[in-house]
Amino acid sequence: MGLLFALVASVALAQESVSTPDIQVYKRAGMLELKAHLFFPPKVAGAAARPAMVLFHGGGWNAGAPEWVYASAQRFAALGMVTMAVQYRLSDEKTTTPLDAMEDAKDAIRWLRAHAKVFNVDADRVAAYGVSAGGQLAAMAAVGDTLKDGLSSAPNALVLYSPAVAVTGSGWMRKLLMGRATPEQVSPDQSARAGLPPVHISQGSEDTTTPAFGARIYCARLREAGNHCEVNGLSGLGHLLSRKLDEQEFTFDADPVARDHAYRAQEKFLACLGYIAAPLTPAFDSPETVVRAQVDAFNARDVEAMARYVAEDFVWYNVVADKMEIESKGRAALRAGMERYFRGNPTARSEIHMVATNGNFVFTRERATWKTKAGEERSQNAFAIYEVSAGLIKRVWYYPAQK
């Protein structure tokens, strides 16, 4: 308990020590001053040059502001990075297009590198963070690297959140471009080549604004070209990890557990690159990951692994019609029960055919199969609801259905 309190206290202290935004003009486009909103980590005397994160907000290329990514900028600053939330030109269907925003994104990265000594930034460790439309800007800055005054516009790593990385078929993008380019020319998945920076993507499986298949295609093409790309897919969630699936452009209901898991995965990615020392948040697996691991352990008939994935006060309920009975209560009881079950059913297996998440709860449709002593194949479909907390299954409600 004392260790947990110390961890929470240290996280709170680090976040309180992050600077308020230092707003500076990084570029002038005609009469418009484009601004960089900089956040600095807690000061450490004699600290070496720090890695940086350049953040691009979403908004469909025609809306949004740097303030939209302040929370993420502060989170990364608390991890020890210099962070910069970027203002870029928004499309107006008159004179300004996403092409202008793409140039702004590249100029923002160059500007930060030009001021690396001023801000104590390591110019060779400048990552980019892009949300939705901002993900397209960050990714295109990587593939469209150009030098100005000897300064590269390409980030050294990409952290993308529900990114628009496959816009070839986007009528909205075509409209905003106003004939000055085609969607294919500004679609990151069409520009995969060797030598691009490592990429981490957080993506909801039911996203209809920036569909999950686009992220998978983008990642696959990057990997085929020899690059590193990973997709952290969150089942049953929409754009920006929203639980609200009927409308995903203007109103969002982000799943807090999934969002926190996405943040932890981002931090793990940055830690593996050496950009941060270690994640601030406890490293628990997502609820869906825990459930899938439990099913894998079942199929491997690994009783000890199954026991490790449940809480000490774990309860398994069988629900049939209007009756609910306790099948197993406690970790020790689960272990004993599964040992008996596998002795009588050594061929039993389970497959998850559908999964949805809502906070700490995971809903599955599963199909169990086994062979009788006479060699006859049997199966049973079932629904199950798992409650997962701190990486452990606390309760299961199991609803067996037709055989």
- Domain locations in the chain as residue ranges: 2-273, 287-400
pLDDT tens string, the chain, 403 residues long: the values are: 333 333 333 444 444 467 789 999 999 999 999 999 999 998 876 679 999 999 999 999 999 999 999 999 999 999 999 999 999 999 999 999 999 999 999 999 999 999 999 999 999 999 999 999 999 999 999 998 777 888 999 999 999 999 999 999 999 999 999 999 999 999 999 999 999 999 999 999 999 999 999 999 999 999 999 999 999 988 889 999 998 898 988 888 898 888 988 998 999 999 999 999 866 555 567 888 899 889 989 999 999 989 999 999 999 999 988 889 999 999 999 999 999 999 988 999 999 888 888 888 999 999 889 888 888 888 888 999 999 988 899 999 999 875 5
Instruction: Provide CB contacts within 8 A for 396, sequence distance 6+.
Output: 314, 315, 316, 317, 384, 385, 386, 387
Check residue 356 and give its pLDDT.
86
Contact 356, 363 (CB under 8 A): yes
Domain 2-273: state its class: alpha beta
pTM: 0.76
Q: Rounded to 5 degrees, what angle do the CA atoms 192, 277, 151 make?
A: 45
Check residue 99 and give its pLDDT.
98
360-396 burial, b for 16+ CB within 10 Å, e for fewer? eebbbbbebebeeeeeeeeeeebebbbbbeebbbbbb
d(CA 8, CA 377): 52
| CATH code, residues 287-400 | 3.10.450.50
d(CA 232, CA 211): 14
Check residue 11 and give its pLDDT.
40
d(CA 180, CA 177): 6
Within a 13 Å sphere around the CA of 133, how many CA atoms are in the beta-carbon half? 25
pLDDT in tens, 177-214: 999 999 999 999 999 999 999 999 999 999 999 999 99
pLDDT in tens, 50-75: 999 999 999 999 999 999 999 999 99
Topology alike, domains 2-273 and 287-400: no
| Complete edge-to-edge strand list for the sheet that includes strand 392-400 | 323-329, 310-320, 392-400, 377-389, 361-371, 349-358
Instruction: Provide CB contacts within 8 A for 47, sequence distance 6+.
Output: 120
d(CA 286, CA 304): 20
Strand partners, 130: 56, 160
Instruction: Provide CB contacts within 8 A for 231, sequence distance 6+.
Output: 201, 203, 215, 216, 219
Q: What is the residue type of 396?
A: V
Strand partners, 28: 33
Question: What does the block give as tokens for 50?
Answer: 């720090």
Which CB contacts under 8 angstroms, 24+ apart, belong to 375-383?
Answer: 378/403, 379/403
Check residue 257 and give its pLDDT.
83
Tokens 């469909």 found at: 60
How far the first Cα of the chain sits from its last, in Å, is: 47
Check residue 118 and give its pLDDT.
95
Helix ranges, 145-211 (H): 171-177
